[in-house]
Amino acid sequence: MLTKSIQKAAFGLVVGLSVSLPVVAQTAAEKAIDRYRELVADGNPAELWEAKGEDLWKKKRGPKNASLEKCDLGLGPGVVKGAYVSLPRYFDDVKKVQDLETRIVTCMDQHQGIKAKAAVYDRDDHKDVISLVAWIASESRGMPVNVPQSHPEEKRMYEVGKRVFFYRAGPYDFACATCHAADNTRIRLQGLPNLTNNEPAGKAFTSWPAYRVSNAQVWPMQKRLEDCFRQQRFPYVEFGSDVTIALSSYMGVTGKGVKSLAPTIKR
């Protein structure tokens, strides 16, 4: 017998991708989700974003009619492999710690003269940023997370991120830690990773960008965090805000050594 919640989940999944899920009795909700993931893993639609991202990296665009092939993602101009697993990091040209998304926005500006109004998620230039993130992340698949902590600003961002993670406020007095600091917890069908532990932190950190079946969109980490702040009933957090980068630093450093998964596919 399917429980009501599994039926609901299966319904959501089927509607999301318009394929039919075999209706078999499942012993646990999570098994249904796992099976579903297996079924769709072969054709993660994020691959379409990856292909577009690679194209955008190589194409001459913008007022400067240049590609992004000289963009420095932290490992030297044009080096893409390994960049995703070693961000956020400090960049001397902007004198701050940047994550992959904010770094791409800087590179589009520096090299191409494109001012991506990245704050608005559904704008086309932001979709370009997401495609680039998807491709760049895919180039680090399987590589161990190695977010640097040698520059004082990198250490500071980690410490800020840790504090933000445990900071309780808002109408429900929630912190990230309220939902993400214990093992084996979930809200309805969604497992809540314990982000204070190495392996779950590394997996969560490298799970984004992810293709979200529920809304047929690719979400990068900035968007993931914005939605968690919403669930926390905190004020809207703007794209690129230092607080998001600090949280990424905290998760990335905590997840050191875990092999990168992104882009993934999610409910």
Question: Smallest Cα–Cα separation from 266: which of 23, 44, 22, 3?
Answer: 44
If binding is defined by CB under 6 A, does position 190 make contact with ligand HEC?
yes
Q: Measured between alpha carbons, how far is 85 from 226 in angstroms, rounded to an integer?
A: 21
- 48, 50, 134, 228 from 54: Cα distances, Å: 10, 6, 9, 29
The answer to whether 29 contacts ligand HEC (rule: CB under 6 A) is no
Tell me the number of residues near ligand HEC by CB under 6 A: 21
Does 229 bind ligand HEC (CB under 6 A)? Our answer is: yes
What whole-number distance in Å separates Cα of residue 91 and Cα of residue 107?
Answer: 12
Stretch that binds ligand HEC, among 7-15, 43-51, 85-93, 172-180 (CB under 6 A): 172-180
Q: Are 227 and 170 in contact (CB under 8 A)?
A: no
Q: Does 247 bind ligand HEC (CB under 6 A)?
A: yes
Q: How far is the CB of 180 from ligand HEC (least distance, A)?
A: 5
Q: Does 149 bind ligand HEC (CB under 6 A)?
A: no
* Of the candidate residues 192, 198, 256, 259, the single one contacting ligand HEC (CB under 6 A): 192
In the list 163, 231, 235, 257, the residue contacting ligand HEC (rule: CB under 6 A) is 231
By the rule CB under 6 A, 245 interacts with ligand HEC: no
Of 37, 60, 48, nearest in space to 111 by CA: 60
224 binds ligand HEC (CB under 6 A): yes
Contact flag: residue 225 with ligand HEC (CB under 6 A): yes
Q: Taking CB under 6 A as the rule, does residue 176 contact ligand HEC?
A: yes
Choice between 106 and 222, CB closer to ligand HEC: 222
Per rule CB under 6 A, is residue 267 in the interface with ligand HEC? yes
- Most distant CA atoms of the chain, gap in Å: 61
The amino acid at residue 85 is V
**Per-residue CA distances from 71 to 27, 111, 143, 206 (Å):** 50, 7, 21, 22
CA atoms within 13 A on the CB side of 84: 29
> How far apart are CB 57 and ligand HEC at their closest, in Å?
25
Binding residues for ligand HEC (CB under 6 A) = 174, 176, 178-180, 187, 190, 192-193, 203-204, 207, 224-225, 228-229, 231-232, 247, 266-267
